[in-house]
C-alpha cells in the first residue's frame, strides 16, 4: 500500500489528511512535514507506533491509513537567541546568515539525488516570459501527466517567488512526484535503494516537452505558426542543405526545428563558437537514390530563425561499453558571457539582423567616445549624469519571441561535477541583475563573473553542461528636449522667465 493518508501531530497542532507515498524516499515525507510545520528535516524526529523514521529507508516504520504520526523538533526561529547580538561581518557569516543579509532567493531542498531537477528549475526560472506564463497557468485545466507536471512547476515557481523555505520544500516534493509520473525512468532506484542520480539534460528536455504542450501562446499576440510559449521563445529554425559527395545529384533542401543547439567536444574544439560552427557543417552517410546505396553527403545548416533564449548543450557524456556507464569528457571548452551567432545564420536572416546590429554598434561607439571625453575632464566632479533610456524590442515586429540582433548575454549555467551522468552533483549558476548566484539545492550564495567563466571544464571541478543565453537588450538614451525660453514683457531690469 504505497499511498496512505495519515494524521501528523506536532506539539498542539494536528494536520489531518496528509498524503504519503512510501515509494518515495523518507526525506520527501520530511519535506512535506517541513512545509506544514516549518521544522527543518534535520531537526525532525518522526515517530509512529514507537518506531522512529530514518532518512535513508522506511525500514520498520509502517504507515496505514489514518495512522497518527508524531513530530518532535523546533523551528529555527523558536530556538532562543543569544542575549547579546554581536556585530557580524560578511566574511564571518555562514551561508544561512549570508542569504538573509544579502536578501538571496530561496533554493530547493534535495530530496535524494534530485539536484538535477533543482538545477534545471533554477535555470528555467531566469526566463521572465516562461516564469510569468507558469505563474498564470490554470492548474485546473487538466492535461494528463504533462498538465500535472506543468501545474507542479507553476507551484514551484510561485514558492520560489516568496513562499518561504517550507513552501519550496513542499513544492519540490510535489514536482518530483509529477516528474516521476510523466517520466517513470526518473523514479529508478540505485543499488542502496535510494533514488538514482539522473541526467539533468534529460530532465530539462522532459520538462520543456511537457510545457510545450501545456503553455499556449498568448491570444493577444499576432497570428503565428508557433503555438506554444516554448516554441515562441526557445524554438529556432535551420535551413538544411544536403550535397552528395559521390554522385551528381541536385542539392536537397529542407528546414528543421530546434529547441537547443549542441556543442560537440573534439580534440580541436577549445571554444564554444568553434564547437557550434563544426556542427553546422558535417559529413553524414545516407542512402543515395542515384547510386542505390549508402553514400557520403555534406550536411550544411544555417539558422533562419533565432529564438530569444538560446539553449546550448555541451555533449560531455558518451557511453563507455566496458564499464557500461555514460563517461564524461572533462576537456576545457571556453564560453563567453556575450555571444554573437551572426556567422551561423543564413544570408537572409543576416540581412534582417543588420539594422539592429548597426544600432548596437552606434551605441557602443558612443560609449567609447563618452569614456574618452570623460578621461579628459577634471576628476574633481564625480557625479554621474542620470539619463532616461528607451528599451527597444529584442524581437522582429512580426515574430514576438525571436532575436533580431544575433547578440546574446549569458544568464544561466547548469554544471555537473563528477565522472558520469549517473553520479556526481548538478548545480545552477544564474544571473541576477549585474551579479551572479550559485544555486546548490537549498543553498544560494553570491559568486562573481570570473567564477562563472571558470566553469569551462578541464578538471574534476564543476563543468558547464547546459548554457542558457538571453537576448542582449538595447537601451538608447533619450534625447533631452531643449528648454524653451519665453521672454515676457516686463519692466526693464527683470530677467526673462524660463517656461519648461
The CA distance from 299 to 290, in Å, is: 17
Q: The C-alpha cell of 286 is what?
A: 545516407
The CA distance from 69 to 50, in Å, is: 10
Residue 59 Rama label (left phi>0; alpha psi -120 to 50; beta): left
- 425 catalytically annotated: yes
The CA distance from 9 to 70, in Å, is: 5
Q: Which of 115, 203, 301, 345 is catalytic?
A: 115
Burial 109-135, CB ≥16 within 10 A → b, else e: bbbbbbbbbbbbbbbbbbbebbbebbe
Q: The C-alpha cell of 370 is what?
A: 563618452
DSSP bridge partners of 282 = 299
DSSP bridge partners of 262 = 313
In the block, which residue shows the cell 519550496? 168
The CA distance from 171 to 176, in Å, is: 9
* One-character DSSP codes across 142-162: --HHHHHHHHHHHHHHHHHTT
In the block, which residue shows the cell 539525488? 113
φ, ψ dihedrals at 250, nearest 5°: -65, 145
The CA distance from 454 to 451, in Å, is: 5
Catalytic residues: 115, 425
Amino acid at each position: 500500500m504505497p499511498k496512505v493518508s495519515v494524521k501528523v501531530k506536532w506539539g498542539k497542532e494536528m494536520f489531518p489528511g496528509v498524503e504519503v507515498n512510501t515509494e518515495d524516499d523518507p526525506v520527501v515525507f520530511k519535506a512535506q512535514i517541513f512545509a506544514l510545520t516549518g521544522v527543518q528535516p534535520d531537526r525532525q524526529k518522526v515517530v509512529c507506533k514507537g518506531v522512529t523514521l530514518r532518512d535513508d529507508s522506511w525500514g520498520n516504520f509502517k504507515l496505514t491509513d489514518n495512522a497518527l504520526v508524531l513530530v518532535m523538533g523546533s523551528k529555527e526561529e523558536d530556538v532562543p537567541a543569544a542575549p547579546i547580538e554581536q556585530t557580524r561581518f560578511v566574511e564571518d557569516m555562514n551561508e544561512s546568515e549570508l542569504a538573509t543579509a544579502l536578501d538571496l532567493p530561496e533554493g530547493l531542498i534535495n530530496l535524494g539525488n534530485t539536484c538535477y531537477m533543482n538545477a534545471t528549475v533554477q535555470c528555467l526560472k531566469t526566463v521572465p516570459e516562461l516564469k510569468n506564463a507558469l505563474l498564470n497557468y490554470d492548474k485546473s485545466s487538466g492535461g494528463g501527466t504533462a498538465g500535472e507536471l506543468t501545474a507542479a512547476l507553476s507551484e514551484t515557481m510561485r514558492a520560489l517567488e516568496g513562499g518561504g523555505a517550507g513552501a519550496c520544500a513542499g513544492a519540490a516534493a510535489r514536482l518530483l512526484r509529477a516528474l516521476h509520473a510523466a517520466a517513470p525512468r526518473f523514479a529508478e532506484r540505485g543499488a542502496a535503494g535510494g533514488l538514482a542520480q539522473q541526467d539533468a539534460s534529460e530532465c530539462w528536455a522532459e520538462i520543456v516537452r511537457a510545457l510545450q504542450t501545456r503553455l499556449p501562446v498568448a491570444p493577444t499576440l499576432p497570428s503565428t505558426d508557433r503555438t506554444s510559449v516554448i516554441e515562441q521563445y526557445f524554438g529556432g529554425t535551420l535551413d538544411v542543405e544536403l550535397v552528395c559527395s559521390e554522385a551528381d545529384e541536385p542539392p536537397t533542401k529542407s528546414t528543421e526545428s530546434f529547441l537547443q543547439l549542441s556543442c560537440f567536444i573534439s580534440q580541436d574544439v577549445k571554444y564554444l563558437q568553434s564547437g557550434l560552427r563544426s556542427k553546422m557543417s558535417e559529413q553524414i552517410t545516407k542512402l543515395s537514390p542515384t547510386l542505390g546505396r549508402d553514400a557520403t553527403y555534406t550536411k550544411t545548416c544555417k539558422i533562419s530563425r533565432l529564438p530569444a533564449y538560446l539553449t546550448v548543450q555541451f555533449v560531455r557524456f558518451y557511453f563507455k561499453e566496458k564499464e557500461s556507464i555514460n563517461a564524461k569528457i572533462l576537456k576545457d571548452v571556453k564560453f563567453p558571457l556575450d555571444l554573437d551567432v551572426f556567422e551561423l545564420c543564413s544570408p537572409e536572416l543576416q540581412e534582417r539582423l543588420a539594422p539592429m546590429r548597426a544600432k548596437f554598434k552606434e551605441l557602443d561607439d558612443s560609449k567609447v567616445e563618452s569614456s574618452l571625453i570623460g578621461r579628459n575632464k577634471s576628476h574633481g566632479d564625480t557625479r554621474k549624469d542620470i539619463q532616461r533610456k528607451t528599451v527597444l524590442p529584442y524581437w522582429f515586429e512580426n515574430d514576438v519571441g525571436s532575436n533580431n540582433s544575433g547578440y546574446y548575454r549569458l544568464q544561466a549555467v547548469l554544471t555537473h561535477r563528477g565522472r558520469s551522468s549517473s553520479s556526481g552533483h548538478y548545480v545552477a549558476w544564474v544571473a541576477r541583475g549585474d551579479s551572479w548566484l550559485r544555486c546548490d539545492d537549498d543553498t544560494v550564495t553570491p559568486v562573481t563573473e570570473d567564477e562563472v567563466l571558470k566553469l569551462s571544464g578541464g578538471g574534476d571541478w564543476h563543468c558547464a553542461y547546459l548554457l542558457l543565453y538571453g537576448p542582449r537588450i538595447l537601451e538608447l538614451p533619450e534625447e533631452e528636449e531643449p528648454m524653451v525660453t519665453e521672454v515676457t514683457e516686463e519692466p526693464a531690469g527683470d530677467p526673462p522667465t524660463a517656461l519648461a
